[in-house]
A and B are shown apart, each in its own frame.
Chain A
Amino acid sequence: MSVSSRIVLLPLVALVASAPARATVYLSIEDAQQAMFGAAAMTAQPLTLDAIQMKAIEKASGVPVRGSLVRVWRAADGGWFLVDAVIGKSELITYAIGLDADGRVKQVEVLEYRESHGGEIRYPGWRKQFVNKKAGDELRVGDDIQGISGATLSCEHVTDGIRRLLATWALVLKPLA
């Protein structure tokens, strides 16, 4: 339905059921370690925070500490590698952060992004809704969607998570080194 040649009104069909939940795996833990530390050997050093440490990290970072377990690896070059997960409005993001021996951020990589509401494609007539499709292009049900556009979703949970991990490093991991 066109309002003009440049403005197209897209009909919103009845919301029958969920479209597919978006779940993307970007990197495995091993791949992220290699991306950040190359061939340097990585040693797992899982950390369990006590109540006092959790309080101190909360105070230093201004971010609530919800779990006591921190997934930590030490690189042979003295760097650190931490894996964490944060929950946003409707998404679960697992990410890794690499720190050099002095606690400076080398790199942040999202490992996995998952939107929670799952389900099947159940839109009646959804195949008619392709927009901006060139004549002759074939589209089949089940073809992958290659991206999603929408209002920008804030990633403040990730930036909060990074702040919490940096405080964890400064207060707990650095003194261990």
Chain B
Amino acid sequence: MNRLRRARPWLGTLVEISVASDLDTPRLLAAVEAAYAAIAAVHGTMSVHEPASELSRLNRSAHLAAVPVSPGLLTVLRAALAFAEDSDGAFDPVVGGRLTALGLLPASEVMAAPQATWRDLRIDGDQVRFRQPLRLDFGGIAKGYAVDLAVEQLRAAGIAEAQVNAGGDLRVFGLAPQRIALRDPRAPSQWSQIVELHDQALATSAPYYAAGSSPSALIDPRSGSPYAGADSLSAIASSCLVADALTKVALFATPSRLEALLEQHDAQLLIQRCAD
């Protein structure tokens, strides 16, 4: 088996790709490049930090007129809206206005209404329209989507075994299960548990890196209140997009909504509870 491991900065974090395969090194490298290209494309399309991204352009203009969006953005938007509806707004991609008001996102030209929600958004075909100025932020879901696309590229290239890890949100595939450590929420440079994954994705939300300009600010979209708990919440699902979104849902959703969503997505939630 030929093995390769790379890490590059994308999506506001380090994205690590590890592969093992019988393919020769040039083909292995080409597969890893294709996977990074897919991640770079998601960054270029869906970063709220890049003023030139498609998402930023949408945020600047969709309250004025309907805007056609690319298939990738539409996929993520539809998935995000479904999670918003099913979680009763505990997850909401329209949280960008709140994050901006709280200084957790850089200011933009258009003043987004902090109280805007997913209900202020209309999709008609590939056209997206806002009912009032709002700011979509895919921070809770785009990393997972990018990981899924990278995994697709690696599979299509014939890679036998791989892991794509976007700063803690990850997905694995291969014959053998892979052992993934969960960071200890009390001391995040250490790990406390090991999870075995087999063709699955795992994402984690926890407050220990949430301060400052971290990409993972944990804010209740409905109230703007920060997550008050100390627990670390990890979700295991078949796709990283779903795992990523579920960890955000789990922060603020009612238990019954959360249970229903876990059931719907055949997912599992792991809670590391800090006693104090």
Contacts and interface: CB of A to CB of B under 8 A. Distances in A.
Given A110-B14, A156-B213, A146 B178 contact: yes
A117 B188 CA distance: 10
A155 B262 contact: no
Interface string A24-57: 1011000000010000000000000000000000
B78 interface: no
A154 B211 CA distance: 10
Interface in B1-35: 5-9, 12-14, 16, 18, 29
Contacts of A176: none
Interface in A109-134: 109-110, 113, 115-117, 123, 126, 129-134
Given A147-B165, A148-B180, A151-B232, A131 B193 contact: yes
A157 to B, nearest CB: 10
Contact of A133 (B186, B196, B215): B196
Contacts of B214: 151-154
A149 B9 contact: no
Contact of A146 (B163, B216, B259, B273): B163
A78 B16 CA distance: 29
Contacts of B205: 151
A12 B184 CA distance: 8
Contacts of B207: 151
Contacts of A113: 7, 14
Nearest to A127: B194
B267 interface: yes
A137 B62 CA distance: 52
Say which size band chain A's interface belongs to: 35 or more
Nearest to B192: A12
B192 A154 contact: no
A115 B14 CA distance: 14
B12 A152 contact: yes
Contacts of A148: 165, 168, 180-183, 191
Nearest to A3: B271
Interface string B30-66: 0000000000000000000000000000000000000
A152 B268 contact: no
Interface of B: 5-9, 12-14, 16, 18, 29, 143, 163, 165-170, 172, 177-198, 200, 202-210, 212-216, 232, 234, 236, 258-259, 262-263, 267-275
The 5 closest A-B pairs by CB, nearest first: A150-B183, A110-B7, A6-B262, A152-B167, A151-B206
24 contacts: A12-B184, A12-B275, A109-B7, A110-B7, A113-B7, A132-B268, A134-B198, A145-B180, A146-B172, A148-B180, A149-B180, A150-B183, A150-B209, A150-B232, A151-B204, A151-B206, A151-B208, A151-B216, A151-B232, A152-B215, A152-B216, A154-B167, A154-B212, A156-B12
